[in-house]
Amino acid sequence: MPEPPFFEFRHVYKSFGAREVLRDVSFEVGRGEAVCILGRSGVGKSVTLKLAMGFLRADAGQVITDGIDVGTLRESALTEMHKKVTMVFQSGALFDSLTVAENIAFPLQERAPASDDEIDAEVEHWLDLLELKPVRDLYPASLSTGMKRAVAIARALAAHPQAILYDEPTTMVDPMMSHMIVELIAKVKRQVRLTSVVVTHDTQLARKLADRLVLLHEGGVRFFGTLAEMDASTDPALREFLQHDSLALP
Ligand SMILES: Nc1ncnc2c1ncn2[C@@H]1O[C@H](COP(=O)(O)OP(=O)(O)OP(=O)(O)O)[C@@H](O)[C@H]1O
Ligand SMILES: [Mg+2]
């Protein structure tokens, strides 16, 4: 039997007051797979990630994460789930009073008992993977937005999650830094066997990373499939999205 998906959205509906944001949204993310969620601003991409994390609840339908219906979880079970599934926020949400290395060590200290040497070795590993060694002793305030994001990714990985969700990892940074973050996320994907969901309106990022892509459009899933299927699609809404996006490139 094939392995069940890690994330599964089954006919999910979500409204805020009178505003229906998601209508009958279904897609899945296999274990170890990277799925990019594309769509215009305000279409419900961040809401989708928050549903997967259990920060928001669906009005109807089911959000299944690692075999569990997230909508049924109470607070303590959600906290448990967040050890498996972690989200990298745009802001980074780093501890300002801790250095880069200390930020990365934080989830390691929270976990099962480990010696200082073991923690140091692991911090080194993540500093190295995310190319952060030169800034290990700096505080977040002195880092650029892009660097903060790299630290946030390292800290998220140090918690040893099974899945990582990124919300717009390349927005608000300059093109060079954006390129660097894409490279880092691609490297993380290659070197850590992790299920990833990346929300973006950056189709360059999506092309580089995605095994499959979801296009959210007017509340629904307009497209779900591979890059090759996306390129072959003649759907006008999909073509228009891709065309606008390529025009927006620098
Ligand atoms: N907690 C909330 N309360 C009320 N409305 C909300 C809430 N969260 C999101 N919304 C609304 O849901 C819609 C989708 O929001 P969402 O943040 O998912 O968009 P998005 O696709 O991530 O857009 P962007 O690309 O600009 O980040 C928006 O109209 C937003 O105002
Ligand atoms: Mg958003």
138 belongs to a structural domain: no
State the pTM of this model: 0.90
Ligand 1 contact via 39 beta carbon (within 6 Å) = yes
Of all protein residues, the one whose alpha carbon is nearest to atom 24 of ligand 1 is 41
CA 193, CA 163: separation in Å to the nearest integer?
9
CATH number, domain with residue 204:
3.40.50.300
* Residue 137 Cα distances to 16, 130, 140, 208, angstroms: 43, 15, 10, 31
Which one, of 61, 82, 79, lies nearest residue 71 by Cα? 61
142 belongs to a structural domain: no
112 belongs to a structural domain: no
In tens digits, what is the pLDDT along the chain, a chain of 250 residues? 678 999 999 999 999 999 999 999 999 999 999 999 999 889 999 999 999 999 999 999 999 999 999 999 999 999 999 989 999 877 668 999 999 999 999 988 877 777 888 899 999 999 998 889 999 999 999 998 888 989 999 999 988 899 999 999 888 888 888 888 888 888 888 888 899 999 988 888 899 999 999 999 999 999 999 999 999 999 999 999 888 766 554 4
155 belongs to a structural domain: no
184 belongs to a structural domain: yes
State the residue range of the domain holding 200. Answer: 19-94+163-247
157 belongs to a structural domain: no
Orientation angle between helical segments 175-191 and 116-129, nearest 10 degrees? 130
In this structure, are strands 34-38 and 195-199 parallel, antiparallel, or unpaired?
parallel
Adjacent-strand bridge partners of 233: none
Report H helices in the chain. Answer: 45-53, 75-84, 100-110, 116-129, 145-158, 175-191, 203-209, 227-232, 236-247
CA 223, CA 221: separation in Å to the nearest integer?
6
Question: Which residues, other chains included, contact 89 with Cβ-Cβ below 8 Å and sequence gap of 6+?
Answer: 152, 167
* Residue 1 Cα distances to 4, 82, angstroms: 9, 27
Closest ligand 1 atom number to CA of residue 44: 18
Q: Is the dihedral of CA 234, 221, 163, 168 positive or negative?
A: positive
CA 38, CA 213: separation in Å to the nearest integer?
7
Which one, of 150, 155, 162, lies nearest residue 110 by Cα? 155
Ligand 1 contact via 234 beta carbon (within 6 Å) = no
| Ligand 1 binding pocket mutation candidate from 21, 53, 59, 171 (most atoms within 8 A of CB) | 21
194 belongs to a structural domain: yes
How many distinct structural domains can be found in the chain?
A: 1
Furthest C-alpha separation in the chain? 57
110 belongs to a structural domain: no
Using DSSP's 3-state secondary structure scheme, residue 124 falls into helix
Q: What is the pLDDT of residue 92?
A: 65
